[in-house]
């Protein structure tokens, strides 16, 4: 009986240790990848929260939009302002990775617009939305195109101010 205890106890401990190692290795199905920015591992892939993409959720959807852009616009009816200007796009302070601030919007140096980057697209055709709000008389949509030699954003928007206009603004990343 005493011999059986000496065999059963080590065998039981071995089974417990083996099971815990096996359970731990099966639990981490993302292997060596650590999901970032609140991403979770599902079926051996990181599932990213709204606003992020990448194998480990390392990139914000807004990332390709960030930078300085050379801009131009055309409006119907015509709107006064410069023919070309520079505009900066930065991550919005309240952003969860998917809203951006567009400064000098439409060539107006005092106008900054908050836009939402479509968190369902992480490719070269990501969409951007400008919502009419109490602080903005502008609303519209746009798209991002990443070419081998440049990044271009095309925005189509309307103004609801006096003499409302329909405009298309083209932004080329510097």
pLDDT at position 157 is: 92
What averages of pLDDT result for each successive group of 10 residues across the chain (174 residues)? 54 49 46 89 87 81 85 91 92 71 89 78 66 75 82 89 84 94
CA-CA-CA-CA torsion sign (67, 71, 77, 79): positive
pLDDT at position 97 is: 58
pLDDT at position 59 is: 79
Element (H, E) at 16: helix 2-27
- All domains of the chain, ordered by start, with CATH? 2-59 (2.10.25.10), 61-173 (2.40.128.420)
Q: For the chain, give the longest Cα–Cα distance.
A: 99
**Rounded CA separation 96/99 (Å):** 7
Element (H, E) at 146: strand 138-147
Is residue 139 within 8 A of residue 155, CB to CB? The reply is no
């Amino acid at each position: 009986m005493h011999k059986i205890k000496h065999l059963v106890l080590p065998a039981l401990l071995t089974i417990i240790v083996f099971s815990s190692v096996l359970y731990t290795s099966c639990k981490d199905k993302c292997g060596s990848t650590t999901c970032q920015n609140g991403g979770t591992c599902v079926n051996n892939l990181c599932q990213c929260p709204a606003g992020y993409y990448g194998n480990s959720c390392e990139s914000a959807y807004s990332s390709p939009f960030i930078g300085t852009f050379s801009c131009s616009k055309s409006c119907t009816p015509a709107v006064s302002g410069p023919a070309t200007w520079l505009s900066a796009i930065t991550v919005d302070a309240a952003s969860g990775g998917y809203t951006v601030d567009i400064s000098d919007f439409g060539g107006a140096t005092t106008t900054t617009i908050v836009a939402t980057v479509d968190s369902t697209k992480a490719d070269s055709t990501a969409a951007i939305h400008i919502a009419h709000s109490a602080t903005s008389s502008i609303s519209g949509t746009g798209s991002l195109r990443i070419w081998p030699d440049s990044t271009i954003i095309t925005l189509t928007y309307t103004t609801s101010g006096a003499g409302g206009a329909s405009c298309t603004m083209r932004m080329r990343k510097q």
